[in-house]
């Protein structure tokens, strides 16, 4: 069973939670609670948000979402993450460009196509598209993946907003979408990084709407509620298990409940795909372990899980690394079905992680 979890800890081992959608989403975990699951084209299921002028920001714009889309480069097409008529206004999606699964955006209709940043198939990825008045920016997992000159104002459309579709491009992705946010301000890279791993459930300056998709299509901060349309659409969550089994060649099982994996990248291009799977390199005890990227005698990450339930009602995750390459470390609490992702950005030495609020899943 431990090997099954190690190999299948991506989004696509969920279980239906239609009877559990009333559960509160734990803080600081990705995805946040349940998520929108789509079987993909030719099945057409999506979330519909009725048209409103507020959903057409023109002076500044930020779109954010967590996605796990399995459409591969071989499919050679485009799939809609969300849109408001790509021929007239804005659209964000995944397209195959040069054989690579690429983040594409339109902000001013059909002549405004921009491509930049790669969305790793089947792996939870945070994407953001920003317009700040003079530039359009694509972010992938908090990295600035592409910058384009752009003038305003942005164009508008009287069409509805669709998540997982578009009124002019009804090609639903195969996969999952979670925590969709729309702003009428240009969010900075620091703001995106600092907030992408925390759910937003209260109004903020410049925030138009948040469709958390944690079991429904409601706007959790405003009046722009959506509704589920079509077929092949539902809400899913991670599976749960009594324990995560034994540590394997690619996954540590800590405290008998935290399945931890990591992937790394040496490609210096921001927003590009990861290069390889980290390998375990020994386990000091049931609560800590090591990962190596390149060779067994070259350790890269030390990670430990601690039971802080008696102190702040949280499980803690600490890590330290001896590397300056990009990596993502995924921690899955298999007993609660909750995941947390930690990113290290390339360049400077990796900072330590001391997350004492990691998992609100006690006991």
Domain range summary for the chain, segments of one domain joined by +: 31-237, 252-359
- pLDDT, tens digit, 9 for 90 and up, residues 281-318: 977 789 999 999 999 989 999 999 999 999 999 999 99
Q: Percent of the chain, pLDDT > 90?
A: 87
Tell me, what's the pLDDT at 77? 85
DSSP, collapsed to helix, strand or coil, labels residue 73 as helix
- pLDDT, tens digit, 9 for 90 and up, residues 93-145: 999 998 899 999 999 999 999 999 999 999 999 999 999 999 999 999 999 99
Give the whole-angstrom CA distance, residue 207 versus residue 209.
6
Contact 64, 127 (CB under 8 A): yes
Question: Which among 93, 222, 90, 232 is positioned nearest to 161, based on CA atoms?
Answer: 90
pTM, full prediction: 0.92
- Position 20 confidence tier, pLDDT thresholds 50, 70, 90: very low
Residue 172 confidence (pLDDT) above 90: yes
- Arch. (CATH architecture) of 31-237: Sandwich (2.60)
Give the whole-angstrom CA distance, residue 117 versus residue 121.
13
- Position 18 confidence tier, pLDDT thresholds 50, 70, 90: very low
- Position 16 confidence tier, pLDDT thresholds 50, 70, 90: very low
Instruction: Give the mean pLDDT of 152-168.
Output: 98
Give the whole-angstrom CA distance, residue 201 versus residue 125.
20
Give the whole-angstrom CA distance, residue 86 versus residue 150.
16
Residues 6+ apart with CB under 8 A from 340: 28, 29, 30, 197, 317, 330, 331, 355, 358, 359
Sequence length of the chain is 363
Question: What's the token pair of residue 11?
Answer: 């989004």
Residue 17 confidence (pLDDT) above 70: no
Contact 307, 317 (CB under 8 A): no
């Amino acid at each position: 069973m431990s090997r099954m979890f190690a190999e299948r800890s991506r989004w696509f081992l969920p279980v239906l939670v239609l009877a559990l959608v009333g559960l509160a989403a734990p803080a600081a975990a990705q995805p946040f609670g349940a998520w929108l699951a789509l079987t993909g084209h030719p099945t057409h299921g999506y979330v519909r948000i009725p048209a409103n002028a507020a959903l057409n920001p023109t002076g500044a714009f930020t779109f954010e979402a967590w996605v796990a889309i399995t459409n591969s480069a071989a499919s050679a097409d485009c799939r809609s993450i969300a849109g408001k008529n790509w021929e007239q206004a804005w659209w964000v999606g995944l397209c195959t460009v040069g054989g690579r699964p690429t983040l594409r955006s339109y902000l001013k209709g059909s002549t405004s196509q921009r491509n930049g940043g790669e969305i790793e198939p089947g792996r939870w990825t945070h994407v953001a598209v920003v317009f700040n008045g003079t530039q359009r920016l694509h972010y992938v997992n908090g990295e600035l993946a592409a910058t384009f000159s752009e003038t305003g104002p942005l164009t508008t459309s009287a069409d509805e907003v669709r998540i997982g579709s578009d009124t002019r491009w009804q090609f639903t992705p195969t996969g999952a979408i979670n925590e969709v946010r729309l702003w009428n301000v240009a969010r900075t890279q620091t703001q995106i990084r600092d907030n992408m791993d925390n759910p937003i459930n209260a109004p903020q300056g410049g925030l138009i709407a948040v469709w958390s998709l944690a079991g429904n299509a409601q706007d959790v901060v405003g009046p722009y509620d959506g509704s589920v349309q079509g077929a092949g659409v539902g809400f899913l969550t991670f599976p749960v298990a009594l324990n995560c089994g034994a540590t394997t060649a690619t996954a540590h099982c800590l405290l008998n409940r935290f399945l931890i994996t990591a992937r790394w990248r040496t490609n210096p291009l921001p927003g590009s795909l990861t290069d390889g799977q980290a390998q375990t390199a020994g386990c000091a005890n049931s609560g800590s372990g090591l990962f190596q990227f390149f060779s067994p005698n070259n350790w890269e990450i030390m990670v430990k899980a601690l039971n802080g339930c008696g102190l702040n009602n949280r499980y803690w995750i600490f890590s330290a690394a001896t590397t300056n390459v990009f990596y993502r470390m995924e921690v899955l609490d298999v007993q609660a079905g909750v995941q947390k992702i930690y990113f290290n950005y390339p360049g400077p030495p990796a900072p330590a992680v001391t997350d004492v609020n990691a998992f609100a899943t006690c006991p």
